[in-house]
Every structure is written in C-alpha cells, then in structure tokens.
Structure 1
Amino acid sequence: MKRFLTLALLASLLVGCAGEKGVIDKNGYQLDTRHPAQAAYPRVKVLVIHYTADDFDVSLATLTDKHVSSHYLIPDVPPMHNGKPRIWQLVPEDKLAWHAGISFWRGATRINDTSIGIELENRGWQKTAGVKHFVPFSPSQINALIPLAKEIIARYDIQPQNVVAHADIAPQRKDDPGPLFPWQQLAAQGIGAWPDAGSVAFYLNGRSPYQSVDTAGLLDLLSRYGYDVTPEMTPAQQKRVIMAFQMHFRPALWNGVADAQTQAIAEALLEKYGQG
C-alpha cells in the first residue's frame, strides 16, 4: 500500500511538472526551459541590403540556383495583391543564405552566418565616359522594403549600425546598393544608422566640407566604426573603403577622397553608435 502511494505521488508530481510553465513535454522526454543562460546571443545580428544588377526573371533564376541565394527578393515595381505589394521569400530566415560572400563587419567575418539578406531588383550601374551612373530605386519598391525591414529588425533586435550595404561589408568587391539607395529616408523610419546633422557640423568645425584630411586618420575612424581596414591595403583599396562609406552616408559625392565632411560624418556616427 505504501509503495502504491509513493508511486501515485511521484506520478502526480510528474504530471504537475509537465503542466508547469516552462516545462515542455516531448516524445520520450521533457524539456525544462526555466533557467535560460545569460551567455546566449541571437544568431542574426546584421541586415544586408543588395541590388541584383539584373532584371527580375534573371535575378530570381540566379538567386534560386545552386551558387548564391538571398532571403528576400523585391521586384522593381512589386505586384499588388489585395492592396499589398508582393515580396518573394527565397530562403527561410532560420536558414543560412549565400548572399554576403567574403565579408567583414565590426570585427566579424562569415557575415552569411549571422545575417538576413534582402535583394532589390535594380540594374545597378553603367559607365559613361568612365563615370558610373546608378539606376534609382522605385518608390513602390522602397515602400515594400520598409515594413519588411522593420519586422526583421524588431524580430532580431538588430542595431541601427548593423543595417548595412553589401558594399559596407565587402567594399573591395561590391558597390550595391549604391549612392541612390535612400539610407536617410530609411533611417527616419527606424531602419539603419544616420548621423545627426548637429554633430556633423560640430566635428566639421567650420572647415570647408571638401578640405583634404589625413587618409590614415579617416581610415582609422572607419575601422573603428566597422569597416575592414588593414595596414597592407593599397591606396586603391583604401579609396574603395572610403567610397563605400561615402555612398552610404554622403551620397552627393562618393569620390573616395578623404575630406573634412567625410571625417566629420564618421566622428558623428561613432559618437552616436559607438565603435565596432
């Protein structure tokens, strides 16, 4: 009788445990999730914006083959269904997509492992007389991007400085999404980083915006913000890093030249968002 009561009590405790909040009953075992570790961090930390440099059909074919992929693809003019723009999801967010390639941001490599990639159908650029001319993004495409980006940022608590251009994380290889991408407009919507105008003016300190500054000093600021800067870089490679930064934060002039305004913007960003 005593043994029966003991078994009954144990069974009662087990049933009670299974019904407790934080205890999950599985097939063949139970999970106790009531003691979460503090040393745990989200896998997704970065949102990367790209352009496809091709039309939609070719872009879709490329992004669904065996070599490259992206989580989302947004057409130049998204088709409307029930009053809402349609976006293509090509890879579930819990799976790795091969969109960043060889990359670096804020001390981290293998950005594919920790990012969500969004591709925008856009022709990219063409050269005329040696000058790159970029294709603008349609308002309807940006309007479709905004709610998607907001949801991703909220879902993974992505910091503003970690919403980046492909060119930011791979400046030696990539230009996308280019200087016509409306980073300032998106930052006003809570998507990505943007310097405060007052801080830029403070750091500019009355200098002419295009006054030359020390290239090494500027690159040090860009390195501290998050860009990949190494001692062995050639002048051409240094210029690519500065140009990527300017396309993002000073799109009116992205010549890759170290000047006072670029320096002031970098200092204002570091003040607002901290070092990488």
Structure 2
Amino acid sequence: MKSLCLALVLVLLAGCTGGLRIDDSHTATGQNSRVQYVVLHYTSADLQRSLDLLTQTEVSSHYLIGDAPPTVYRLVDENRRAWHVGVSEWQGRTWLNASTIGIELVNQGYYQTPAGRYWQPFAPQQIDTLIVLLKDIVKRHQLALGSIIAHSDVAPQRKVDPGPLFPWKRLADEGLVPWPNEDAVARQQALFSTSLPSVQWFQEQLAQNGYTVPQHGELDEATRNVIAAFQMKYRPANYDGQPDAETAARLLVLNLQAAG
C-alpha cells in the first residue's frame, strides 16, 4: 500500500514539474508577418447562405462582410489558414491559402439575363466598412502597397470575383492599392495607338505585374483571361480580354511606378 501511494505521489509531482518551460525574454529582430496578401472575393449568395457556406463546408474565409447592414464577421483567426483561394499563384508564389487573409463580401456576383450578364453593385456602406478593415490589416501586418488583390488576379483561369463593379479606384484613393497616373497613361496610350505592342510584350508585362500567364507569344484563351482580369481591375468599362492601347498603357505605367 505504501509503495502504491509513493508511486502516485511521484506521478503527481512529475505532472506538476515535468511540463515544457519556454523563456520568452528574447525576441528576434529578423521576423515579419506570415501574411503576404489580402484576397478579396464576393460570395455569390445572400448573407445567410454565405454564412452557411463559409462555416459549415470546407470553404472558409477569415472575414465576411454583410451588405445590409455591413457587419464584419470573423470566421477564422488570422493566425490560422482559411480555405478561400484554392489553386492560385501571384508574383511566383503558389497555393496562397497559407499566406493570405481572405475577405468575402456578401454580393450575388452576376446573373445571366436575355440582355446579357448583369452584375450586382456593391453597397457603399459595405465598401466603407471594407476599407476600415483593410487599413487595420495592412497596418498590423505591415503589408506593402500592392498586397490587396482579387481572387481573379490569383486564379484568372477560373475566377472573376470580385468582378468589374468592385471599386478598386476607391481603394486606390484611400492609399490601399496602386493606381496608374492618368496623365502618364494618356501619353503612353497615344504612343501605343500608333504601334500596339506584341502579344509577347503583354505576356511579359502581365507577368511582371504579378500574374501567371503563358509566355509563348500567342493570344490564346489563357492569355485573354489574364488580360480580362487586369482590365476588370484597372479598366472595368471594357474587359473583353483583347490587347489594346489603353490596356497596354495602364499596364506599363503601373509597372514603371512599381519599379520606382
């Protein structure tokens, strides 16, 4: 009996003193956030359906912003991975779920009608709320300009969200995304109107901007999809995927600005 009691005491003492002790008194200067980008989406559903999809299936997102009212729902902690982008690539980095924060906006996306595709506008209050959230994320993770991107940027062969009605220029005015200088665009567009660059040039410039795009010099479907993704962001009035002088000018000016 005494032996049994002694063994029990030793087990209890081991449980109290045998745990791992970590000293947090030293902090390395060589570190930064694991978050590299914020990816914006629309849900293609109403609020309740969006909540169900993002909390009860394998698809998830860090944040969901409602449309009326524009409530911000945190669905996944920023320190954990959400499943929101799938097969993806940007600036040479792949499978971006591990290095991104996903934000979903409640928005139906588009409807097919007899007159063509109808896109649902975003509620102004929803965008106001998104901007506040983005500024907070950018500050906390010290993200560089250009780190806020579209789902269609990282997966242009299969995704179009957040679509041509998403107000990227509004985000640019708030200092959240880069935007080409309009005077410089006008000058370059006049030059390109007389001599349009080759398809190979477009492919090279799109790759420099961050897109994954073929580099074979042919205007195939994959290349047109990437051009359309760029146009939806920077020239949403016409996103036909065709190379033209204005698209070339906006692309070149953006890349020159990024190069400093």
The answer to whether 1:69 aligns with 2:64 is no
The answer to whether 1:133 aligns with 2:136 is no
Letter in 1 for 2:259: G
The answer for the alignment partner of 1:261 in structure 2 is: 246
Question: Between the two proteins, what is the percent identity of the paired residues?
Answer: 39
The answer for the alignment partner of 1:33 in structure 2 is: 26
Asked if the contact 1:150–1:190 (Cα under 8 Å) also holds between the matched residues in 2, the reply is: no
Secondary structure of the structure 1 residue equivalent to 2:56: coil
The 3 A distance-change label for structure 1 pair 135 and 222 is same
CA deviations over 1:79-127 (Å, ceiling 9, x no partner): xxxxxx5311101111110001100001100111111111000010122
Among 87, 92, 96, the alignment partner of 1:107 is 92
The answer to whether 1:52 aligns with 2:52 is no
Secondary structure of the structure 2 residue equivalent to 1:126: strand
The answer for the alignment partner of 2:14 in structure 1 is: none
Letter in 2 for 1:28: R
TM-score (norm 1): 0.81
Secondary structure of the structure 1 residue equivalent to 2:146: helix
The answer for the alignment partner of 2:205 in structure 1 is: 221
Asked if the contact 2:54–2:60 (Cα under 8 Å) also holds between the matched residues in 1, the reply is: yes
Letter in 1 for 2:177: G
The alpha carbon displacement at 1:31 in A equals: 3.1
CA deviations over 1:9-31 (Å, ceiling 9, x no partner): xxxxxxxxxxxxxxxxx973423
The answer for the alignment partner of 1:116 in structure 2 is: 101
The alpha carbon displacement at 1:143 in A equals: 1.2
Letter in 2 for 1:105: W
The alpha carbon displacement at 1:214 in A equals: 2.3
The alpha carbon displacement at 1:213 in A equals: 4.3
Q: Which runs of 5+ in 2 are unaligned?
A: 1-18
Letter in 2 for 1:104: E
The answer for the alignment partner of 1:6 in structure 2 is: none
Distance 1:128 1:214 in 2: 35
Distance 2:235 2:22 in 1: 56
The 3 A distance-change label for structure 1 pair 225 and 68 is same
Among 89, 112, 121, the alignment partner of 2:74 is 89
Distance 2:196 2:50 in 1: 40
Structure 1 stretch 233-242 or stretch 54-63: which is displaced more? 233-242
The answer for the alignment partner of 1:152 in structure 2 is: 137
Distance 2:112 2:224 in 1: 19
The answer for the alignment partner of 2:8 in structure 1 is: none
Letter in 2 for 1:30: D
The alpha carbon displacement at 1:52 in A equals: 0.3
The answer for the alignment partner of 1:5 in structure 2 is: none
The alpha carbon displacement at 1:132 in A equals: 2.4
TM-score (norm 2): 0.86
Asked if the contact 1:50–1:118 (Cα under 8 Å) also holds between the matched residues in 2, the reply is: yes
The answer to whether 1:177 aligns with 2:162 is yes
The answer to whether 1:203 aligns with 2:194 is no
Q: Tell me the number of residue pairs that the alignment of Structure 1 and Structure 2 aligns.
A: 241
Asked if the contact 2:46–2:107 (Cα under 8 Å) also holds between the matched residues in 1, the reply is: yes
Instruction: Report matched runs for 1:234-273 at 5 Å.
Output: 235-273=220-258
The alpha carbon displacement at 1:187 in A equals: 0.9
Letter in 2 for 1:220: E
Among 197, 205, 230, the alignment partner of 2:214 is 230
Distance 1:71 1:138 in 2: 20
Letter in 2 for 1:159: A
Distance 1:147 1:37 in 2: 29
Among 192, 205, 211, the alignment partner of 2:177 is 192
The 3 A distance-change label for structure 1 pair 43 and 130 is farther
CA RMSD of aligned residues (A): 2.2
Distance 2:214 2:190 in 1: 29
